[in-house]
Structure 1
Amino acid sequence: MSWTRGLLAELAVGALFGGSAGCGPGDARERGSEVSVSPVGKVLDDTDEEGRHYREVDEKSAPQVAIQVQPDPGDDWDARLTVHNFRLSPDGTRPVAEAGRGVVRLYLDGRALTRLRVVDYHLPARLVPRGTHHVTSRLYADDRTVWAVHGKPVESTADITASGAGTTANREEE
């Protein structure tokens, strides 16, 4: 069946059952916690710590992120992201998942810090107490689903050590 006949059939069924089946662009907002209808990937039952569903994509076309965190001269930290197969969405983007697009959420020791739409972030020293910490960047689609490959979120973690009198950045993981 051609796509036009399929679309016409769906519209006819929708009209018979009293209107929209919930496929409009604003539908994700109207339904609250449900994710957007999108042909991108497969939404899994698995969720992150905040209850956001994973959106599984093929490894070949999956977005990627890497994070590097370096101390700056004032005991603060400068985080820099590198992304591949991924575009950061501007503010005001519709909450619909599109291939390789979205935002990055930054975490410190598993605690959400911020949502990024740029690749640079300045992490104030006051947020990083003395000791070793994990700074994680995780990719999200615009509908707030987590980009995932093989059931694991697309993310990268860097370890940093704050000592108060000088700090060091240790390593980067993907």
Structure 2
Amino acid sequence: MSWTRGLLVALAVGALLGGSAGCASSEAHERKGEVSTSPVGKVLDGTDEEGRHYREIGKKDAPQVAIEVQPASGGAWDVRLTVRRFRFSPPGVRPVAVAGRGTARLYLDGHALTRLRTRDYRLPGRLVPRGTHHVTARLYADDQTVWAVDGKPVESTADITASGTDETPSPVSGTEETPNPASGTEETPSPASGTEETPSPASTG
């Protein structure tokens, strides 16, 4: 879907796999380079930009993610993830890889924004300067390994273009790629604290 706000345009492209970005975590229990002994998938030598190993899993069983970004009030951007065969883990879970479970990390132009335990996030406009930018969501297991298929991380990227104006958005023509149909769970955000709540932009990944 594509929206325009005066000269402000957001084009959200929901790609299921491919692309790259970097991230950092704010949770104290995370230890980079340490991988759980979970029998799920196969840990590869390849890593993300922060040194977290890829965890290869068959395409048939792999989680999927798509991302959509739309302009919001006050110059902000609403980010929404659509996931399949994946559920978000609550805070405090054991750092062990469990099939179809974990967190998403959000990046802007390859720089870490936050770690998500829900599919919704409000991206502050002050973080998006004038120009075209890439917003990427990548799925991680609870031991911070990267869910991967064919050696590539499970992620999705959307392009947004900001011009610095702030007017009421109106629909314009655009394209949106729909996630491939697959069985599994799509998480629905809940106002309860812990899982599926809308995270605070203050949280960093």
8 Å CA contact 2:32–2:51 kept in 1: the answer is no
> Which of 30-39 and 155-164 deviates more?
30-39
Give TM-score scaled by structure 1 length: 0.78
Give how far 1:77 is off. 0.3
8 Å CA contact 1:158–1:172 kept in 2: the answer is no
Q: 1:97 to 1:126 in 2, by over 3 A?
A: same
Q: Which residue of 2 aligns with 1:17?
A: none
The amino acid that maps onto 2:77 is W
Q: Which residue of 1 aligns with 2:109?
A: 109
Deviations 1:41-76 (A, max 9, x none): 000000001100000000001000011000012210
CA distance in 1, matches of 2:30, 2:103: 21
Q: Does 1:73 align with 2:76?
A: no
The amino acid that maps onto 1:126 is R
Q: Which residue of 2 aligns with 1:93?
A: 93
8 Å CA contact 2:33–2:51 kept in 1: the answer is no
Q: Which blocks of at least 5 consecutive residues in structure 1 are unaligned?
A: 1-28
Q: Does 1:130 align with 2:130?
A: yes
Larger RCO (alpha carbons 8 Å, 6+ apart): 2
CA distance in 1, matches of 2:34, 2:123: 32
Give TM-score scaled by structure 2 length: 0.67
Q: Which residue of 2 aligns with 1:165?
A: 165
Larger relative strand fraction: 1
> Which of 163-172 and 110-119 deviates more?
163-172
Q: 1:145 to 1:30 in 2, by over 3 A?
A: closer
Larger relative helix fraction: 1
Give how far 1:32 is off. 6.3
Q: 1:136 to 1:60 in 2, by over 3 A?
A: same
SS of 1:54's partner is: strand
Q: Which blocks of at least 5 consecutive residues in structure 2 are unaligned?
A: 1-28, 180-205
CA distance in 2, matches of 1:75, 1:127: 10
Q: Which residue of 2 aligns with 1:119?
A: 119
Q: How does 1:18-57 map to 2 (within 5 A)?
A: 33-57=33-57
Q: Which residue of 2 aligns with 1:83?
A: 83
Q: 1:171 to 1:147 in 2, by over 3 A?
A: farther
Deviations 1:89-140 (A, max 9, x none): 0000100000010000000000010000011000000000000000000000
Matched-pair identity in %: 73
Give how far 1:33 is off. 2.7
Q: 1:42 to 1:115 in 2, by over 3 A?
A: same
Q: Which has the larger radius of gyration?
A: 1
